[in-house]
Amino acid sequence: GWRWCGRRCGGGGGDDADGSVDGDVVTHPGMTRMDEPGPELLEWLVDPADLTTLEDLHGEHTTGAVHRALYCGLEVAVKVLATAGDLPGAAKSRLGAETGVLANLEHPNIVELVGLQIDKHMVSLVMEWMERGSLFSVLHTTQGSMGWHLRLSLAHDAATGVHFLHSQTPPIIHRDLKSPNLLVNRDWVCKVTDFGFSRELEAMAAANTRVGSPAWVAPEVIAGTPYAEKVDVYGFGIVLWEL
């Protein structure tokens, strides 16, 4: 799969004119000591020299810029979560550990995290590229041509991905399950994205504790009362209504 995170595409050791390599892990001049959370992060750090931006995307219901890019010859999506200066110290200290957790979630219905790009200007996630975009976009552009077999298949994919998250120890609760956070690839496979720490980073950078879009969010989340995995079932129910 995508296990090139934090390493040069060509591998190998030694020094590099644009950065340094320590055990095949790349640091680069754009980084500062403030941007160095530790070895956990370095394992997943993507060198900007290996990324070539192809186009800027402006997706619906997204809070950060998204770019389509090439990484080691394969298409990826680069999502800007926040400017580095906007992140509190607590967020930076958790960055490496949380990135490792998310990057090791391997499932056919979870959008794969390739790695993390961080410098003195911004923090970005490098993720698997999903050619057809969000389920929200698909439903609003191909509504008349989608048969029920495809609709049921997309719903099953989404449910399977969420079940996988809930099966982790401890369970991973999405809290913002909605059609814009379900992506569809070229083969019409639906995958869950925008969960876990990536969403928390965006919220912290915006100094905003509210989660998600109200149309999809369970009442207990909006009210700030205790909740569990069932809040994702509520969001999935709205997605089924959309389908």
- Which of 47, 50, 176, 194 is labelled catalytic? 176
State the residue for tokens 């998204």.
Answer: 66
* CB-based contact 89:143 (threshold 8 Å): no
Nearest to 2 by CA among 51, 72, 78, 99: 72
CA separation for the pair 72, 87 (Å, rounded): 29
CA separation for the pair 71, 8 (Å, rounded): 10
Complete DSSP assignment for 20-64: EEETTEEE-TT--GGG---HHHHTTBPPGGGEEEEEEE--TT-SS
Integer-rounded Cα Rg, in Å, for the chain is 18
50 among known catalytic residues: no
Alpha-helical regions (H) of 55-122: 89-103
Residue type, 78: V
Q: Which residues are catalytic?
A: 176
